Amino acid sequence: MKEKLIIGSRGSQLALWQTHFVKAKLEELFPALKLEVKIIKTTGDRMLDVALAKIGDKGLFTKQIETALTNREIDLAVHSLKDLQTVQPENLEIGAVLEREMPNDILISKRFASIDDLPNGAWAATGSLRRKSQLLHYRPDLKIFEIRGNVPTRIKKFEESDLDAMILAFAGVHRLNLDSYIRQIIPFEVMIPAVGQGAMAIEIRSDNAEIREFVQKLNDENTSFCVAAERGFLRTLEGGCQVPIGANAILKNDKIYLEGMTGNLDGSVNLRDSISGDKRDAVELGRKLAQKLIERGANRLLEETRATVERTEELVI
């Protein structure tokens, strides 16, 4: 093992919190090892005035970091797992998945305690088509506003606006000690989270068995099984930022319970289904659940949604 390892990270407060969390865990296990953090700017960090769905989603928040990893400019990378493509670049792999934070989405509002409390025609902000689709399915009267930026930036924009509510992931808000803004933890019955939401992943080069062994000590087996099922679901549907897809897996007594959804942009169609089975069949369970939705018209729905995104102009703040 080299005396010093360089960890690649995005520069947002949340990304750096996650990276320094991993760094501290590794330093506890290997006190003699020197670890350095290198900040790398990604496409998603640069293009903040464009809706995520318009940019395209192939490695939006990871490509430049993965290039640095491939070029041996860094030795490992810390990501929000939901940002990673379901198929890794040929020479890279996920070396470890850390124990997951609660994956739910949350409601932020100055005046209202829950989605149910929002008045008719209220304005809600989100940068996610998945959240938009599910919000409008549950509350078709709401008006959705596109918002971009990291977690503190979005909260600041919201505080300075006349918007009634905003939806974010619990994990990011909680990790940055911003829980005081949370008005509601949204139940899964209303909103299924993004694939891998709340989980952190360590990405490594496939040819480095030493670093694989090193980071595996941080791997949480239960989380790994759950996100494997979710990612199998997403990979089969070939989804990303441009389409509304969500999945959530729970592991109980070696059995995975997986629920998945897809929908259209106005929320008028919301396909949900679930499946359960042995944790060792996690990826196959995800694939089978996706096939159940495909049989109900998911592929056609997603194609129509992509076409709608291409011709729709969103106002972004």
Which residues are designated catalytic? Answer: 83
Distance CA 260, CA 243 (A): 13
CB 44 within 8 A of CB 55: yes
For residues 88-126, one letter each, b for 16 or more C-beta atoms within 10 angstroms of the residue's C-beta and e for the rest, the string is: ebeebebbbbbebbebbbbbbbeebeebeebeeebebbb
CB 282 within 8 A of CB 232: yes
Token pair, residue 298, equals: 């998911």
Identify the CA nearest to 108 among candidates 134, 133, 126, 132. Answer: 126
H-helix segments, 182-280: 209-215, 221-237
